[in-house]
A = this chain, B = another copy of it.
Amino acid sequence: MSLIVLGTVALDSIKTPSGVKPELLGGSASHFCMSARLFNKIHLASVVGQDFPNKHRQFLKKKGIDLTSLIEQEGKTFHWKGEYKKGDFNNAITLKTELGVLMNYTPQVAASQRKIPNVFLANFDPDIQEYFLKLMDKPKFVGMDTMNLWIDIKKKSVKRLIKKVDLFVANDGEACALTGESNLIKAAKHLRSLGPKLIVVKKGENGVLFYSDKFMFSFPAYPVEQVIDPTGAGDTFAGGLMGYLSKSPKITEATLKKAVIYATTLASFNVEGFAMAKTAPLTLAMVHQRMKKLVKFISV
């Protein structure tokens, strides 16, 4: 059963201790797709400006992403300029944000896509996420991500939307900010009480915590020695998680654990290169090879 993602498509200019790269293909939906495509047919819903390079569009198409609902509007593509300082890859420093076409975007979904059963609302304005969700026709499984910015300025919208999703993915800082808890287990329980049955808290290099009513589990991250650029790691994680779940006939503890292991593995590739340098060439066979090492690394 296929999967549609709403999120941003961006041009990212990124500075890390490994170098400076201007205008790379980025955005929450792009990173999500590059990971989820390994498991399923992925439909992307987003907006770009007239300046969006055709090579990026062709690249996404070549990776099998359906771009029917990637609309082009007058204006400039969303542009994020950010920096990571040495030894602090968990904190992106935003140098410039040019929203461009995001400012006037009203999500669209082709009629043929309305019945897609799996929906992921990648990081975006929660009102736009909710608008998009209403366009969909009774989806079977809905996941969402958000970020501190929206929790700060649109907390009510985030809380209204979270009631309507099955899976909530957040990083540790966001989980605490949204719930007011400082303990992650408490934060996860609190998030559960807001609606979603499945809670995934990402902790960057410290791995991930999964919480549900019946069981919880935690895995460390894959040990990456040379982090180049963590931009999009969370979206790549979400893509692996949702991609695998969307192909699973039933969501069980075993399925969820496997999905988190896939997601963890994919995120580890993401951070090893700028933008999608390491995730774009991936095949499932390459992912499985690293997954074996990860499982050995974390097995009791």
Please list the residues of chain A having a beta carbon within 8 angstroms of any beta carbon in chain B.
86-88, 176, 182-186, 203, 205-207, 209, 216-220, 223-227, 257, 261, 295-300
Please, which residue of chain B has its CB at the minimum distance from the CB of A220? B218
Report the Cα distance A219→B298, complex, angstroms. Answer: 6
Number of copies: 2
Partner of A220 from the list B87, B220, B227, B257 (CB cut-off 8 Å) is B220
The reply to whether A297 and B183 form a contact with Cβ atoms under 8 Å apart is no
Chain B residues with Cβ below 8 Å from A296 are: 217
Contact B183 A227 (CB under 8 A): yes
Distance (Å) between the CB of A11 and the closest chain B CB? 28
Of all chain B residues, which has the CB nearest A211?
A: B223
Residues on B with C-beta less than 8 A from A219 are 220, 298, 300
Interface contact A216-B206, CB-CB below 8 Å: no
CB-based contact A206/B203 at 8 Å = yes
Q: Within the complex, what minimum Cβ distance (angstroms) separates A93 from chain B?
A: 16
Instruction: State the main secondary structure of chain A at its contact with B.
Output: mixed
With A182-B87, A205-B184 as contacts: A298 and B227 at CB distance below 8 Å: no
- Check if B209 sits within 8 Å of A218, measured CB to CB: no
Residue on B nearest A261 in the bound complex, by CB: B300
Q: Which residue of B lies closest to A224 (CB)?
A: B185
**Which residue of chain B has its CB nearest to the CB of A217?**
B297
Residue of B nearest to A225 (CB): B185
Residues of B within 8 A of A224 (CB): 183, 185
Given A203-B206, A206-B203, A207-B206, also A185-B223 (CB < 8 A): yes
Q: A226–B13 Cα gap in the complex (Å)?
A: 42
Give min CB distance, A289 to chain B, whole Å.
16
**Residue from the set A86, A209, A223 with the largest chain B CB neighbour count within 10 Å:** A223
In the complex, what distance in Å separates the CA atom of A203 from the CA atom of B297?
16
Contacts of A217 in B (CB 8 A): 296-299
Chain B residues with CB below 8 A from A220, complex form:
207, 209, 218-220
Chain B residues contacting A203 (CB-CB under 8 Å) are 206
